A and B are shown apart, each in its own frame.
Chain A
Amino acid sequence: MAKTDIGPPNYRNFMPPIIQKNYGKWKYHENPKPGVLKHVAESGDELFSVRAGSPRLMSTDHIREICDIAEKFCGGYLRFTSRHNVEFLLSDRSKVEPLLAELKSKKYLVGGTGHSITSIVHTQGWVHCHTPATDASGPVKAVMDELHGYFTSMTLPSQVRIALACCLNMCGAVHCSDIAILGIHRTVPKPDHNRVPNVCEIPTTVASCPTGAIRPDPKNKSVTINEEKCMYCGNCYTVCPALPLADPDNDGISIWVGGKVSNARSAPKFSKLAIPFLPNNPPRWPETVAAVKNIVETYAKHARKHERMGEWIERVGWERFFRLTGIEFTDKHIDDFTLAPDTYRTTTQFKWG
């Protein structure tokens, strides 16, 4: 029997010699062009990292192609970033341009450094999730097809981190993104009273609801769901497949803006609601693509250099954000969850828009 609890392979064995040698002894770095980082060590050694976009959902053949490239140029070493990009690590400066040429010929996009839009962190969507309100890979591909020019350049005021989660469980922790694309359900699970008695255990199903919205329905040997309490998390569907949650006509996408995780300048912050609902419109989600593009372009036009989306919005005020983007402000934008009053304006200071 195979060994258990061995943990991951030791990363130390997977680092190129230049990193082994200069581990913890880096002096400074430069970003000579989009997608290329140059790190200089105390020893004077130079490490070049070339960053390329990826679909994240990758075939083994695609991974092997990346391996071929890394063997040809990088001595068989590479890494991935926390935002799903591939990074080729070179200790030989003369190989940077040939690598870039090879990547270009193979249609890889190089970028995602500095003041750019890097790859969209995302979840599984219809590809593999059981509670998605939208697809993940599809909207990501459609948005990035439109915005890839911001990936391969560094022309924005600051970096713009976009993330997508296909339901409000937010596997991708998108809640602190400059722009979050979030799948939302808007209708409660529909108990299939014919199937519930056969495929579900009632007490487990009732207990699975975080808000206590599920009640036993002894007459039908099934359950009922309180529409007032349900928050569409899909947890009940996980334990009881006869409680389908998805609703093709009412599931869709919401857009959230102005979050960040970095502590640079201002404190980390949550993304806030910009657009409560956009329809699912596969294969190219044109409404979502247009909405994201509009927000990025408005930000690019008005923000000061180094200002993240949320910092720009807080400086000019949300009232101006809504005016400049032309996004409609509705009652859905006003919080009514636990700490709602904290978000109401308690001063006479505001702008006219």
Chain B
Amino acid sequence: MANSETPLLDELEKGEWPSFVKDLKQAAAKKPMARDLMRQLELSYTEKIGHWKHGGIVGVKGYGGGVIGRYSDRPDLFPEVAHFHTMRVNMPTGWFYTTAALRKVCDIWDKHGSGLTNMHGSTGDIILLGTTTDHLQPCFDDLSDAGFDLGGSGSALRTPSACVGPARCEWACIDSLDICYQMTMHYQDQLHRPMFPYKFKIKVSACANDCVASIARADFSIIGTWKGKIEIDQKEVQAYAASGLNIREEVTGFCPTQCMTWDEKARQLKIADEDCTRCMHCINVMPKALRQGKEKGATILVGGKAPILQGAQLSTVIVPFMKLEPPYEELKDLISKIMEWWDENGKMRERLGELINRLGMRTFLRAIGLKPIPQMVRNPRANPYVFFWPEDIQKGGK
């Protein structure tokens, strides 16, 4: 290793966890671009500072997004990464692949780019990491021929994502994959051509466990839920108890509404379903014994986001229960109305949740035609600064 160009990074080849440095080196052996990326990264490790510049509008014909322009700030040292743009490729919903499709993407990326990827980016896209401006269009053309399309970037609909849902999960209350796919197809224009105040994210989780973190980061969160009684298979509950599960401590003791009791003598589990808030804990712990109620649908929440700019927000309930079946007209209608209201009223770089805060939830609800209901709040207001609509006030009073 005496002649290594990257002594610091080499340290990260050691250890048990899969090493990204090995992958960097694999690509560097074939691609001068990957080698310069690695050398620049080594410089960052030495100087404790990044070496990338944003800037320049790069992209493919007909689209306003999907490519992130990136340039080295030391092209003198690392000429191969002077231009090093990322392409975001919309992943197959649920991140399912055939190896044939994956190999095609690899071949295209070896032909046009650095040979390095992220599987996947935080939003869910396949990230093709680094190519030059002249390769963007040919790479897109090849991807399109292979059946792939770019994902979202900038002030656009970002690539929607979904949990594994009904493909492999008994807890799926909605077809998260189909909903995600259909919304992605329906809003292709909004995804590829940034026209919004800022980014807009749609994420679909098929149950309250929320495996795609919809409530934490989606402007529009779709989370599966149910109505009606949890189905109990008492024999299976007893089997769990017999296998050593302490039902009182591990199941009923954690019930947030204390709506369930375990009768040790009769070995019967009882649930007061009208008090259940469908948190999923008991079902998570005893998947063989408990099944969700029969009437399935989704809770719709809006406004979730990471901190930038005015602090992080969780999505908040606007529709407690919506049946979601193809062709999802009610859902599309609601999403479109919200996009329009936000587009009309939002300032530059103002996310939906921040706009709702600025103009008030009551204004938002009225604009999209939703009736206020207690499910929308944790508690009613505690301050007396109530705004009334003009029509609430008696006119011409004495």
Contact = CB atoms under 8 A, between A and B. Distances in A.
Interface of A: 1-11, 13-15, 19, 23-24, 26-30, 39, 47, 49, 53-64, 66-67, 70-71, 76-82, 84, 86, 89, 107-109, 121-132, 135, 137-138, 141-142, 144-145, 148, 151, 168-176, 207, 210-211, 233, 235, 237-239, 241, 246-249, 251, 261-266, 268, 270, 280, 282-284, 304-306, 337-339
A6 B109 contact: no
A190 to B, nearest CB: 13
B68 to A, nearest CB: 8
Interface in B21-55: 21-24, 26-27, 30, 34, 37, 41, 44-45, 47-55
B306 A169 contact: yes
A130 B54 contact: yes
28 contacts: A2-B142, A4-B192, A5-B149, A7-B181, A8-B181, A9-B148, A28-B170, A29-B169, A39-B168, A54-B119, A55-B20, A55-B23, A67-B99, A78-B102, A86-B119, A126-B45, A128-B86, A170-B307, A170-B312, A175-B216, A235-B349, A238-B54, A261-B214, A263-B215, A264-B279, A268-B216, A306-B281, A339-B311
Given A56-B118, A130-B70, A284-B11, A263 B210 contact: yes
B324 interface: no
Given A128-B130, A141-B21, 6 more contacts: A55-B18, A130-B70, A173-B217, A176-B215, A263-B278, A265-B254
Contacts of B53: 130, 241
A67 B254 CA distance: 42
Nearest to A168: B307
The 6 closest A-B pairs by CB, nearest first: A145-B15, A2-B144, A144-B17, A24-B166, A173-B217, A263-B208
A128 B70 contact: yes
B50 A8 contact: no
Contacts of B86: 128
A47 B54 contact: no
Contact of A77 (B98, B163, B208, B284): B98
B129 interface: yes
B8 to A, nearest CB: 4
Would you call the interface of chain A mostly helix, strand, loop, or mixed?
loop
The winner among B48, B61, B120, B184 for most chain A CB atoms within 10 A is B48
Contact of B280 (A28, A53, A121, A264): A264
Interface in B258-300: 278-281, 284-285, 287-288
A235 B48 CA distance: 20
Interface size class of B (residues with CB under 8 A): 35 or more
Nearest to A81: B95
B281 A76 contact: no
B172 interface: yes
A76 B12 contact: no
A84 B119 contact: yes
B285 A63 contact: no
A57 B279 contact: no
Contacts of A82: 95, 124, 161, 163, 211-213
B76 interface: no
Contact of B141 (A2, A6, A280): A2
Contacts of A39: 168-170
A32 to B, nearest CB: 13
A251 B95 contact: no
B92 A26 contact: no
Nearest to A8: B90
A137 B163 contact: no
Contact of B45 (A135, A211, A306): A135
Indicate the member of B122, B185, B255 with the most A CB atoms within 10 Å: B122
B52 to A, nearest CB: 4
Given A141-B17, A266-B256, A60 B96 contact: no
A80 B120 contact: yes
B11 A58 contact: no
